[in-house]
Amino acid sequence: MKKKSIQKILLGLILPILIVVAWFLATNYGNIPSGILPTITKVKDSFQELVHTGTLQKDLLVSFGRVVKGFLMASLLGGVLGSVMGMFEPVRDLFAPIITVVRQIPIIAWIPLIILWCGIGEVSKVVIIVIAAFFQVLVNTESGISGTPGKYVEVAQLYKLSPWETFSKVYLPHAIPQILVGLKLALSVSWMAVVASEMLAATSGIGYRMSNARSMMRADIVIVCMIIIGIVGIVMDRLIGWLFGLLTPWQKYEKKEK
């Protein structure tokens, strides 16, 4: 078992190592201008410089603040509407068609209209994140709630639970695993949306830092930002995964059963 997991890690490391080696060889022995692909040492130096001056922390904090605001608002809106849609069929029939259509529009396609409506300030970024994350939470919440087996709802009827109690004791716990999947996806698209919107129109944030670096041919800073974006994404993903285990303690036994 342990041997297998070590083998798994080693296999997973092969490609990253090859990429780094190729990068090293290309920049040290090839003839590639540093504006296109800087050396690894240059990227490392830029990283240290960005941390030292505090630019990176400031950018991250700005972007992160936007993500948190947008993500929380989208979760609340999507969670509430998704729950109501999941529990009451007429509400579902009312909203489902338009949501299915609007969902198909890529988030990038929203950006021009949002900038026209909300300008290029703080509001537009948060609105873009809300739109991106909202549908992920909504669709997954709705599907988790409406998928609650009738046999459990019948038990709630038998014990005359109020609609709120039926929701909190039967529908919601059943939907939690899927709601968390929705939150995970929502957080990931929020992060993508904030970078995208900052690259198009912003004066701060990690996306702005990248687009600014590009205009100054600083590929080293672009790469630093890309690596940081990837790392933050993984950390947030893991955080939700940890929350998953915390909120659904019964699930680990069910998996064992199968």
Partner 1 sequence: MTESREIEKNSEKDFIINIEHLNKKFIVDKQPLDVLKNINLQVRKGEFITIVGHSGCGKSTLLKIICGLVGYEDGVVERNGHAVVGPGPKCGMVFQEHRLLPWLKIKDNVGFGLKDLSKEEREVNVKKHLELVGLAGFENSYPAQLSGGMSQRAAIARGLANNPTILLLDEPFGALDALTRIQMQKEILSIQEKENTTMVMVTHDIDEAIYLGDRVVVMSARPGEIKDIITTDPIESKSRGSATFASYKKTIYSYFFEDSQEDYEVEYNI
> Closest separation between CB of residue 183 and partner 1, Å?
18
Instruction: Report which of 186, 191, 210, 202 is spatially closest to residue 118, judged by C-alpha positions.
Output: 202
- How far is C-alpha 52 from the chain's CA centre? 28
| Residues within window 162-191 making contact with partner 1, judged by CB under 8 A | 165, 169-170, 173-174, 176
Under 8 Å CB-to-CB from 107, ≥6 apart: which residues?
Answer: 128, 131, 132, 189, 192, 193, 196
Under 8 Å CB-to-CB from 174, ≥6 apart: which residues?
Answer: 144, 145, 147, 148, 149, 152
Assess 84 for contact with partner 1 (CB under 8 A).
no
Given a contact cutoff of 8 angstroms between Cβ atoms, the answer to whether 153 and 174 are in contact is no
> Closest separation between CB of residue 185 and partner 1, Å?
22
| Residues within window 4-33 making contact with partner 1, judged by CB under 8 A | none
- Distance CA(188)–CA(33), nearest Å, equals 33
Assess 52 for contact with partner 1 (CB under 8 A).
no
Assess 93 for contact with partner 1 (CB under 8 A).
no
Q: Report how many residues bind partner 1 under the rule CB under 8 A.
A: 22
Minimum CB distance to partner 1 smaller for 52 or for 160? 160
Minimum CB distance to partner 1 smaller for 156 or for 195? 156
Assess 211 for contact with partner 1 (CB under 8 A).
no
| Residues within window 142-161 making contact with partner 1, judged by CB under 8 A | 151-152, 154-155, 157-161
Instruction: Report which of 172, 3, 148 is spatially closest to residue 80, judged by C-alpha positions.
Output: 172
Binding site for partner 1 (CB under 8 A): 151-152, 154-155, 157-161, 165, 169-170, 173-174, 176, 248-250, 253-254, 256-257
